[in-house]
């Protein structure tokens, strides 16, 4: 009888440990990348409020986009390639034990050949020490209590920096820029507000005229065609109309005014340089 009761107690303890471990270790963090592509980070240690995600143990990273999961994806850690996948729904496994304690960065790029389709931009994160991870795990276990769900799921959107810089200064944008099909898009209003010029809207919703230093550009929503000083030209990518804003591809649109745009692959930024 004693042996049976002892086995029953041991089984109950093991079951409680297994159940508690499942509750404590599963933490999912949704992060909005500065490049317009969001990602999910699933880590062993439940995330907490901090300047950047705090991770420990094994980490699973994946972009939040069904359209891109079947594309070749590249994972960068601290600016170096750490993984390449075109399968498994874009999931990357990262063992933070191989990284030093402290701050690091990760980034996921979706590519097609040599073309960049989308990017999360650099996402900072902190690798916890073994002691810190154990303390976080213990705190999470005690906070959960009885009757808790099988895991904690947190959504914490975060934008760390804009991806468009004007004369080496971070853009002060009303709407965040994003990367689509290898081009950085920005609202027409934000672009002209930084480089200078005038926009005349109307009388119809689709009518937009842009003026800067003697150059006159007629812009059409959801069209790659523009009319520059009466001549029809192509931007190579269609403008995007969403949330009552018109987004234009930064590089080809700026070139209409003789303004250079350079993409910095190291910093994941578009640098627009013009004469003030």
Residues 6+ apart with CB under 8 A from 265: none
pLDDT at 196: 93
Q: What is the CATH number of domain 2-155?
A: 2.60.40.10
Bond before 203 cis per omega within 30 degrees: yes
Mean pLDDT for the stretch of residues 152-167: 67
Identify the band that residue 143 occupies on the pLDDT scale cut at 50, 70 and 90.
Answer: low
The pLDDT tens digits for 191-203 are 999 999 999 987 7
Whether pLDDT at 119 is above 60: yes
pLDDT, greater one: 236 or 207: 236
Name the pTM for this structure.
Answer: 0.49
Burial class (CB in 10 A: 0-12, 13-18, 19+), 157: exposed
Mean pLDDT for the stretch of residues 110-115: 75
Whether pLDDT at 133 is above 80: no
Identify the band that residue 151 occupies on the pLDDT scale cut at 50, 70 and 90.
Answer: low
Whether pLDDT at 2 is above 70: no
- Say what percent of the chain tops pLDDT 70: 70
Q: Name the segment(s) of the chain with CATH classification 2.60.40.10.
A: 2-155
**CA gap 59, 107 in Å, rounded:** 14
The pLDDT tens digits for 212-259 are 999 999 999 899 999 999 999 999 999 999 888 899 999 999 999 999
pLDDT at 206: 72
Q: Name the segment(s) of the chain with CATH classification 3.30.457.10.
A: 164-273
Superfamily assignment of 164-273 in CATH?
Copper amine oxidase-like, N-terminal domain (3.30.457.10)
The overall average pLDDT reported for the chain is: 76
Return the exposure string of 86-109: e unless at least 16 CB atoms fall within 10 Å of the residue's CB, then b.
eeeebbbebebeebeeeebbbbbb
Give the chain's length.
Answer: 276
């Amino acid at each position: 009888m004693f042996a049976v009761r002892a086995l029953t107690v041991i089984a109950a303890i093991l079951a409680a440990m297994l159940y508690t471990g499942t509750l404590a270790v599963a933490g999912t963090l949704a992060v909005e990348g500065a490049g317009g592509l969001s990602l999910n980070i699933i880590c062993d240690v439940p995330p907490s409020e901090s300047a950047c995600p705090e991770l420990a143990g094994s980490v699973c990273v994946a972009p939040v986009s069904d359209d891109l999961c079947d594309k070749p994806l590249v994972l960068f850690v601290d600016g170096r390639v750490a993984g390449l996948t075109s399968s498994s729904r874009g999931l990357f496994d990262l063992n933070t034990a191989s990284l030093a304690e402290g701050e690091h960065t990760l980034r996921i790029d979706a590519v097609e050949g040599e073309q960049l389709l989308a990017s999360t931009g650099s996402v900072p994160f902190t690798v916890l020490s073994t002691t810190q991870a154990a303390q976080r795990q213990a705190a999470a276990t005690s906070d959960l209590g009885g009757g808790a769900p099988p895991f904690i799921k947190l959504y914490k959107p975060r934008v760390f920096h804009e991806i468009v810089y004007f004369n080496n200064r971070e853009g002060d944008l009303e709407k965040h820029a994003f990367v689509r099909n290898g081009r950085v898009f920005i609202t027409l209003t934000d672009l002209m507000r930084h480089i200078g010029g005038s926009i005349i809207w109307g009388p119809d919703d689709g009518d937009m005229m842009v003026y800067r230093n003697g150059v006159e550009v007629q812009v059409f929503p959801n069209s790659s065609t523009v009319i520059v000083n009466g001549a029809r030209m192509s931007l190579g990518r269609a403008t995007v109309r969403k949330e009552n804003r018109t987004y234009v591809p930064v590089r080809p649109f700026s070139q209409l005014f003789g303004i250079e745009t350079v993409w910095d692959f190291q910093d994941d930024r578009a640098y627009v340089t013009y004469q003030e």
